[in-house]
């Protein structure tokens, strides 16, 4: 079942890499007591994700923070090493936290996994963005397959 507005995010361990070390963090810690924009996408270093989705959040991060967002998280079904390398490639610095959902546990738990096995990509995340306040979903914009219209930074900014 797909998560919806008003639902609390599940408690799931995810990973990130910092200072050369892979760390595990629980979603309760990531989202607890914070207003967070979480955007997820099918894969690091993929065309739309690298050309538009992630860069839009980097460019608009100050505006999001000014509107009361405490943290911006990019999540993908990749490992923490890939997410860190992609973040470095995209110059995210400390603006966007690059979270790895390596085995798609979070994506499956929120019902937003995407089966791309037929094209050799395995299980991925759907493309979406959500605003989460203290672990509870306040806004959820899920893209239709192959689209990039409602999960971009500008759309989220306009909804805050």
What is the arrangement of strands in the sheet containing 35-41, beginning at the earlier edge strand?
21-26, 13-18, 97-100, 71-76, 35-41, 128-133, 136-142
Catalytic residue numbers read 49
Quote the CA–CA distance of 73 and 83 in Å, as a whole number.
11
**What are the structure tokens assigned to 127, written together?**
């493309």
Cβ neighbour number for residue 88 with a 10 Å cutoff: 11
Following CA atoms 10, 48, 53, 106 in sequence, which dihedral angle do they give, to the nearest 10 degrees?
Answer: 10
**What are the structure tokens assigned to 106, written together?**
């979070």
Distances, alpha carbon 71 to alpha carbons 2, 132, 134, in Å: 23, 10, 12
């Amino acid at each position: 079942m797909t998560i919806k507005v008003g639902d609390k995010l599940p408690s799931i361990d995810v990973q990130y890499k910092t200072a050369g070390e892979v760390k595990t963090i629980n979603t309760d810690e990531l989202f607890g007591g914070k207003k967070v924009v979480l955007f997820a996408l099918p894969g690091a270093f993929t065309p739309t994700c690298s050309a538009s989705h992630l860069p839009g959040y980097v460019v608009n991060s100050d505006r999001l923070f000014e509107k009361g967002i405490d943290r911006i998280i990019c999540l993908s079904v990749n490992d923490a090493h890939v997410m860190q390398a992609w973040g470095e490639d995209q110059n995210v610095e400390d603006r966007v936290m690059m979270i790895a959902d390596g085995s798609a546990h979070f994506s499956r738990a929120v019902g937003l996994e995407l089966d791309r096995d037929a094209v050799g990509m395995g299980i991925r995340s759907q493309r979406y963005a959500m605003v989460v306040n203290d672990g509870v979903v306040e806004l959820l914009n899920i893209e239709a397959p192959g689209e990039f219209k409602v999960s971009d930074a500008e759309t989220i900014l306009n909804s805050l």
